[in-house]
Amino acid sequence: MEFSAKQIAQLLNGKVEGDENAIVSKLCKIEEGEKGGLSFLANPKYNHYIYDTEASIVIVNETFEKERDIKATLIRVKDAYSCFAKLLEVYNQYRLDKNGISSLAFIDNTAEVAEDVYIGEFAVVSKEAKIGKGSKIYPQVYVGENVQIGENVTLFAGVRIYHDTVIGNNCIIHSGAVLGADGFGFAPLEDGTFKKIAQIGNVVIEDEVEIGANTTIDRATMGSTRVLKGAKIDNLCQLAHNVVVGRSTAMAAQTGVAGSTKIGDNCFVGGQVGFAGHISVGDRCSIGAQSGIMSNVDNDSRIIGSPAMDAKLFMKNYVYFRKLTRLAEQMKELEKRIGVLEK
């Protein structure tokens, strides 16, 4: 899709400086600018790139003062960064604007599919499933029996939604994610083997949740595994059976949460954090990367480490930890001296 400098300036309430008929069809960094590309300049550290960039159009702040001639057409706006972010959103919406149902998709005749839904090639929509208005089901997605999907939901290619899962409105689930697989429930037997415990619950994803690629969320043993409104789960995370993730909580990649653990609202969880099972984490907590959470955590806590402790205490202790080798050598030397004195 092509846009002229004039059209972009109208969209952003900006002013064109140069050729208002300059055309762009792609977005690019200013240091990697190409002909036909649209870029932006907001950070003064990158000012020098604007004089050599091959980008056809560059969005700049109204206050930008050029030191010499610039080949690119400029669009001056109040805030170049926020305006470029607005264009990224428009561009992304256009690129992901899919519609229609492929003749190569399978939709069971008992499924309910609302209007204005996109369903791609080789997607499967099973018995009694419901898909809300404006949702997009990309190729090779599996939607199991009795799954309920709200409005304006996007399931990218290869997502697997097991039976009875409920997904709210305005959710995004990225490729390879699996929702509703069995929880890890096994009873040890006297002979050393395991007996599988049936997992008869489901997964409930509330509105405006985003789930990253290859993340897995297990169904509950009984009841529901729940991700509450506005939560953001990164790639390669694992939520076990009966876990609850609170509203507007953000969880970075490779985090694992063991069964029946509850994480509060508005928490920030760093990458590779591990949560033990059957514990409770309060609201507004901040948990550093690679922490091991072994017990309950109070509201407004700032913790890090494995086992996790108060972040300030951890940093104080870390000062001594870095000196352990030297301190050990000093102890050995003192032991030798004491041994000599005792003799």
Asked if 26 and 132 sit in the same domain, the reply is no
Phi then psi for residue 340, to 5 deg, are -65, -45
Domain that holds residue 238: 101-315
CATH number at residue 268: 2.160.10.10
Tell me what percent of the residues of the chain surpass a pLDDT of 90: 85
271 versus 319: which is more confidently predicted?
A: 271
In this prediction, residue 37 has a pLDDT band, given cuts at 50, 70 and 90, of very high
Active site residue 241: yes
Last residue of a domain, one of 46, 78, 95: 95
The answer on pLDDT for 97 being more than 80 is yes
Q: What is the pLDDT of residue 339?
A: 87
CATH number at residue 27: 3.40.1390.10
Do residues 73 and 133 both lie within one domain? no
Catalytic residue among 48, 163, 241, 278: 241
Q: Same domain, yes or no, for 173 and 69? A: no
146 in the same domain as 44: no
Query: What digits encode the pLDDT tens for the residues 263-305?
Result: 999 999 999 999 999 999 999 999 999 999 999 999 999 999 9
Q: Read off the pLDDT of residues 24-36 as tens digits, 9 standing for 90 and up.
A: 999 999 999 999 9
Residue 70 lies in a domain: yes
pTM (2 decimals)?
A: 0.84
Helix (H), strand (E), coil (C) string for 67-113:
CCCCCCEEEEECCHHHHHHHHHHHHHHHHCCCCEECCCCEECCCCEE
The answer to whether residue 343 sits within a structural domain is no
**Strand, helix or coil for residue 134:** coil
Give the model confidence (pLDDT) of 119-155 as tens digits.
999 999 999 999 999 999 999 999 999 999 999 999 9
Which of 95, 120, 147 corresponds to the end of one domain?
A: 95
Q: Domain for residue 128, yes or no? A: yes
Domain identity same for 208 and 270? yes
87 and 110 both lie in a single domain: no
Does residue 1 surpass a pLDDT of 80?
Answer: no
Say if residue 91 is in the same domain as residue 219: no
Per-residue pLDDT at 96: 83
Same domain assignment for residues 69 and 194: no
309 strand-pairing partners? 304
* pLDDT classification of 99: cutoffs 50, 70, 90: confident
